Amino acid sequence: MSKEALLQIRDLTKIYTDDSGEKTVLKDLDLDVEKSEFLCILGPSGCGKSTLLRCIAGFEEYSGSVSVDGTQRREPGIDRFMVFQDFNQLFPWKTVINNVAYPLSLNIKAPKAEIKERALEALNKVGLSGCKDQYPHQLSGGMKQRVAIAKALALRSPIILMDEPFAALDAMTRSGLQKEMLSISESEKNTIIFITHNIQEAIILGTRILVFGQQGHILFDEKNPMQRPVTPASEGYGELWEELHHALYEGSLPAKTSK
């Protein structure tokens, strides 16, 4: 693990306490994420992958540390911007452009026109500048998720956290958004941590893929060897899929690649 990793997570432990007792969701997790990496995290339900994202975002209390550029972060902040799975993450009382411009106006001192300009530019990147004056309730689920991504792009957040953002979309919209994410990740410099249940999505998008077992135990952690753009016909796709599938469903690596 290199010292200069953009995001450093050390000894992260998260325990939920409720009436039935304590539940350890994440245990002594160490993780480094390099700048401009597109990290996809796969894992079964309840493995703590969403909790990890919420801890990084600063929505949860935890023990251990999360550092960005060497500085500890515990509170939410725009250097780690979250794109939620829930379509309703946009404010319904603001137009599309204002949903993108509002976080900007809170965080940077710039003339109104400049902020609008920057928001519009971000909307352009997700192909939604034509809907800038609409309200969120007039958009489809896929469009709402694009606006949420545009918010992060406009803020130029160094780290974008995406918690299964496309999980509730239909297959066609999902595939369209994956293509868009791919081109965004190639043209922008943001580091992206992307959680998904979908092995194909992880292979298509990730430059590095992680598979979590229970309590955030890392079963698999490797750079994605495939050349972008990846399709199921790409060479090596089948083997990688098999490997990830095994790790995901059996909780271990296939015998031939086990170390």
Is 18 a binder of another protein (CB under 8 A)?
Answer: no
Among 30, 46, 74, 91, binds another protein (CB under 8 A): 91
Specify the residue, 150 or 199, whose C-beta has the smaller distance to another protein.
150
Beta bridge partners of 80: 159
- Look up residue 141 and give its two tokens: 């689920």
CA–CA separation, 113 vs 59, rounded Å?
Answer: 32
Is 62 a binder of another protein (CB under 8 A)?
Answer: no
Specify the residue, 81 or 212, whose C-beta has the smaller distance to another protein.
81
Q: State the minimum distance, in angstroms, from the CB of residue 82 to another protein.
A: 5
Specify the residue, 3 or 137, whose C-beta has the smaller distance to another protein.
137
CA–CA separation, 62 vs 88, rounded Å?
Answer: 27
Is 65 a binder of another protein (CB under 8 A)?
Answer: no
Which residues ranging from 105 to 164 are in contact with another protein (CB under 8 A)? 106-107, 135-138, 151, 155
Contacts of 167 (CB under 8 A, 6+ apart): 85, 196, 197, 198
Specify the residue, 136 or 206, whose C-beta has the smaller distance to another protein.
136
CA–CA separation, 122 vs 102, rounded Å?
Answer: 13
Q: State the minimum distance, in angstroms, from the CB of residue 76 to another protein.
A: 4
Is 60 a binder of another protein (CB under 8 A)?
Answer: no
Is 168 a binder of another protein (CB under 8 A)?
Answer: no
Q: State the minimum distance, in angstroms, from the CB of residue 41 to another protein.
A: 19
Could you tell me if 159 and 7 are in contact, meaning their C-beta atoms sit under 8 angstroms apart? yes
**DSSP label at residue 81:** E
Q: Which stretch binds another protein (CB under 8 A): 25-33, 73-81, 116-124, 230-238?
A: 73-81
- Look up residue 214 and give its two tokens: 């229970």
Is 86 a binder of another protein (CB under 8 A)?
Answer: yes
Identify the CA nearest to 39 among candidates 170, 235, 218.
218
Specify the residue, 21 or 92, whose C-beta has the smaller distance to another protein.
92
CA–CA separation, 87 vs 143, rounded Å?
Answer: 9
Environment class of 141 (CB within 10 Å of its CB; exposed 0-12, middle 13-18, buried 19+) = middle
Q: 3-state class of 255 per DSSP?
A: coil
Site residues for another protein per CB under 8 A: 57-59, 76-78, 81-82, 84, 86, 88-93, 102-103, 106-107, 135-138, 151, 155
